[in-house]
């Protein structure tokens, strides 16, 4: 079986990939890839995987995700890290004060590149913004948004859920780019 390299420094993404790709030989290459300025996660993911391939010279994957809040015209979109570094989840909660529509979603793109072909897999996870920052820290979190994001159909934030609850939750209107890629890749290598 050929080795697949996942280039990222995000511990939460690494934990998720190891779970979704348990039947695949995955090597983690911890590196902070350049992130082009764009609100298009598909474009960002493509640029990242191309940079990753130049580093490792072997088939690799990279992921990018964004967070869309309906009441804020989609803000912060793909600018999640910038918004968390500047206003943080407390700032997002401040912007959401008095808003009845608390619908939001994570949108993600996983890109695979083998030096010849690019394949991209989209994911989407619907939810709502909580009224307060709540929950416990975990090495599986992708970002601090876990303290304010409640998956559709749940009354708990991701940060309040146990590992088992997060893994076994019913996914309403949810598609994982990692799961989509894992299915495709398993068929590719068989």
pLDDT at 1 over 60: no
Span of 9-18, 41-50, 110-119 with lowest mean pLDDT: 9-18
**Alpha carbon distance 27, 18 (integer Å):** 10
Which element (helix H / strand E) includes 15?
Answer: helix 11-20
Catalytic residue among 64, 70, 144, 163: 64
Tokens of 83: 């918004």
pLDDT higher at 149 or 2? 149
Which element (helix H / strand E) includes 26?
Answer: strand 26-29
Tokens of 7: 């280039």
Domain tally, the chain? 1
Mean pLDDT, the chain, whole residue set? 88
* 99 DSSP 8-state letter: -
Span of 52-61, 153-162, 172-181 with lowest mean pLDDT: 172-181
The reported pLDDT for the residue numbered 150 is 95
**Alpha carbon distance 94, 31 (integer Å):** 33
The reported pLDDT for the residue numbered 167 is 75
The reported pLDDT for the residue numbered 172 is 66
**What range defines the domain where residue 60 resides?**
4-189
Q: Which residues contact 11 (CB under 8 A, 6 or more apart)?
A: 139, 140, 141
CATH number of the domain to which 178 belongs:
3.90.950.10
Q: Which residues contact 159 (CB under 8 A, 6 or more apart)?
A: 134, 135, 136, 137, 138, 141, 146, 147
Q: How do residues 7-34 score in pLDDT, each as one tens digit?
A: 887 777 777 777 777 777 888 887 777 7
Helix (H, G, I), strand (E, B) or coil at 39: coil
The reported pLDDT for the residue numbered 2 is 67
Over residues 116-145, mean pLDDT: 91
Q: Output phi, psi for 166, to 5 deg.
A: -65, -45
Whether 64 is catalytic is yes
pLDDT at 137 over 90: no
pLDDT higher at 137 or 147? 147
Other C-beta atoms lying within 10 Å of the C-beta of residue 129: 25
């Amino acid at each position: 079986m050929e080795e697949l390299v996942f280039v990222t420094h995000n511990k939460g993404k690494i934990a998720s990939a190891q779970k979704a790709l348990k039947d695949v030989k995955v090597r983690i290459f911890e590196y902070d890839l350049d992130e082009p300025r764009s609100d298009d996660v598909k474009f960002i993911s493509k640029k990242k995987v191309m940079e990753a391939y130049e580093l490792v010279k072997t088939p690799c994957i990279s992921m990018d995700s964004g967070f869309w809040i309906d009441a804020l015209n989609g803000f912060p979109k793909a600018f999640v890290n910038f918004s968390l570094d500047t206003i943080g989840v407390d700032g997002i909660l401040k912007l959401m004060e008095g808003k009845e529509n608390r619908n939001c979603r994570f949108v993600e793109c996983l890109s695979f590149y083998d030096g010849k072909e690019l394949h991209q897999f989209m994911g989407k996870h619907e939810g709502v913004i909580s009224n307060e920052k709540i929950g416990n820290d975990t090495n599986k979190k992708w970002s601090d948004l876990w303290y304010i994001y409640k998956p559709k159909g749940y009354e708990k934030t991701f940060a309040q859920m146990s590992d088992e609850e997060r893994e076994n939750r019913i996914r309403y209107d949810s598609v994982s780019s990692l799961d989509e890629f894992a299915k495709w890749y398993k068929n590719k290598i068989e």
